[in-house]
Every structure is written in structure tokens, then in C-alpha cells.
Amino acid sequence: NAVQKELKKQNHRLRDYDELQQATKFLHDNGVLLHYDDPLLRDLYFLDPQWLCDMLAHVVTIREVNPHINNGVMKLSDLSHIFRSENFPANLIKQYINLLSKFEVALPWSSEYLLVPSLLPDRQPISNQPIAPGGNPVVTRAMNMTAYTKTRVLRRQYIMSYIPSGFWPRLITRVIADEEVRDVVRCCCQLVMEGEAEESDKEKLAFVAQPDWSCWKTGIELSCFGVKLLRICDLQGLPFYGAPEDAVHPVHYRQEIHDTTCFSTVEVIAPSVSILMEKFVQKRRVSKRRGGKQFTRQHDDGKRVNGLVKE
């Protein structure tokens, strides 16, 4: 143990590891140092608690100090920019992320992004721009896409006496990081060519049908190409997909109407949606060039092939 080695250098000895743990717990409880019995953090001993608090605050501070956050989301790679001029070892960035997660200051949902719950929008963003985009903008602009909603919409409401602290941040990060959600998105999409379904293009479909996420403090919404596929949120009493106001019905529980203001209600909405994407093949274009034929051929998989054919 590094701590025991350091104590030995200072001519201080402890009988065993248990005594070290007791001493550490005593100092932690009295605020002299900080130590957490967590598998990812147990090797770290913070001798200056105020320094640790200052380091944690770097993520949730004002925009002038941390300009890398956009609607509560930042890239993990930007952490190195925040601590560039600070006395913070670069090799401890991973442990720093674990600390942020333990205190629910920020939660990683993938190897690229960090979610900061306190900086998420209070309400669902009105803009169609997703907070966590997953699609390819080039593919999106080129796609001839149509979508239609069937009559049935799955809607579930879970009435609770209260919602535990940290429920929404952890739910949001786990849903976004769930790889099975990508499979659900692909099930709602289908490639067609001249009106006929293309069953052999699953790899292309997996590339273009990427989920886009919109997050706020008490909810999350999934869409693909701007089409809403799923919403999990605190009950707002609002219609979905622009339905009329009378489409929202009161909450019934055990054959009684309940006032939603007296309970915490989590709502899950999943409309039955199908997205059809038209696939096309660009024709070969041939042009003359210095005694040869310069051609450019565009394949249906989006790869461009160039070449020169001798006459």
C-alpha cells in the first residue's frame, strides 16, 4: 500500500491494514482528509478536502471557466482543457470521472460524453436540435424519408409517492448508453428502392438509422430523422405529437381520479411509428479527357470510385 510506504518513510508505523482503515475513517469523519471505500477510488487519499471540492466544481462552474458544456453535455476529451493550467495530474482524469459519478455531479454515458444533470435544461428543449446527436448529417440531408404514425400509441404512467434523488440522471445515462436501443430504432426503419423493401441492406440501415437524444432535467426523448420514437418524462399533462388538448385524460388509479400534483408520476410514451427511407443508385457519369474516358461511378453504398479508361 502506498500510504503505508509513505508512513514508513516518515518513521510512522501502523500495525496492520485494519488499523490504517480505522485511522482513515476517523480522519474522514472529522473532515481532515477524504477517502471513499469504493473499488474505483479506494487507492486515493485526499489530504486537502477543499482542493477536491474546487476540482469537482470545475465542471459545474460558470461558462467562462468551462465553456465546453452544451445544454448539460460535454465531451470527455474536453476535461484535459479544463485542467490544463491546474495542479492536477493528467493520469488521474479517469479517477476524477469516477468521483464525479459517485457524487452524481456528472455521469458518463459512453466513452465520449459526460452528462452534467444540474446544467440540463429545466424543460424539454423546443429546438429540434438534439442534445446527443447520433446520426450522420450528410446521410440525413441526402435521405428521401417518409414516416407515418399508426393509430395506437403505447402510454404508461407510473404513480409514485416520490422520485428518489438521482433517479433521472441515472435513468437518462443508462438509457442512452443501452446498445439495445439502437436495435429498436432500426426496427422502426426500413430501406426501400422504387417502392420495394430492401431486405439485404441491414448493414446500411445500421449506419443511417442512428438515435438522436433530447434530454432535460426530468425527461428524455428519442427520435430518428426528427421523428419521435420514445419519451420518458415527469408527467406534464401535455398531448403527444401535437394532438388536441382533449387528448390528455386524467390519471385513474383503482377506479378513482387522482390529482397529479399530489404524486410524482413517470410517463412512458412510445408511438407506433414506421420510417421508410428511399435508397437510390446514382448513374455513371462519363466525360472525355485527353484521349481517354474519365469516369466517376457512384455506388448505392455511398462509396465513390474514380478511374481512367483508355480508348
Whether 190 contacts 197, CB under 8 Å: yes
What's the mean per-residue pLDDT of the chain?
A: 70
pLDDT at 298: 44
Q: Note whether residue 216 is domain-resident.
A: yes
Give the number of domains in the chain.
Answer: 2
Is the pLDDT score of 171 beyond 50? yes
Alpha carbons 149 and 241: distance in angstroms, whole number: 10
Residues 65 and 185 occupy one common structural domain = no
pLDDT at 308 over 50: no
| Residue 90 domain boundaries | 52-119
Cα–Cα distance measured from residue 185 to residue 274, given in angstroms and rounded to the nearest whole number: 10
Which pLDDT tens digit goes with each residue over 51-79? 888 877 877 766 666 677 777 888 888 88
Residues 233, 192 within the same domain: yes
Fill in the amino acid letter for 89. Answer: P
Is residue 168 within a helix (H) or strand (E), and if so which, with residue range? helix 167-177
Phi-psi region of 267 (alpha: psi -120 to 50; beta: other; left: phi over 0): beta
pLDDT computed for residue 137 by the predictor? 43
Three cell numbers at 246?
382533449
pLDDT at position 165, please?
83
Decide if 17 is inside a domain: no
Per-residue pLDDT tens digits for 213-245 = 888 889 988 887 777 888 888 876 555 554 555
State residue 98's pLDDT score: 85
- Residue 75 maps to a domain: yes
- Mean predicted confidence (pLDDT) in 27-41: 86
Decide if 31 is inside a domain. no
64 and 142 share one domain: no
In the listed set 88, 119, 150, which residue is the last one of a domain according to the structure? 119
CATH number of the domain that residue 86 is part of: 1.10.10.2200
Residues 85 and 211 in one domain: no
Whether residue 146 is found in the same domain as residue 114: no
Residue 144, C-beta contacts closer than 8 angstroms, at least 6 positions apart = 277, 278, 280
Residue where a domain stops, chosen among 65, 93, 119:
119
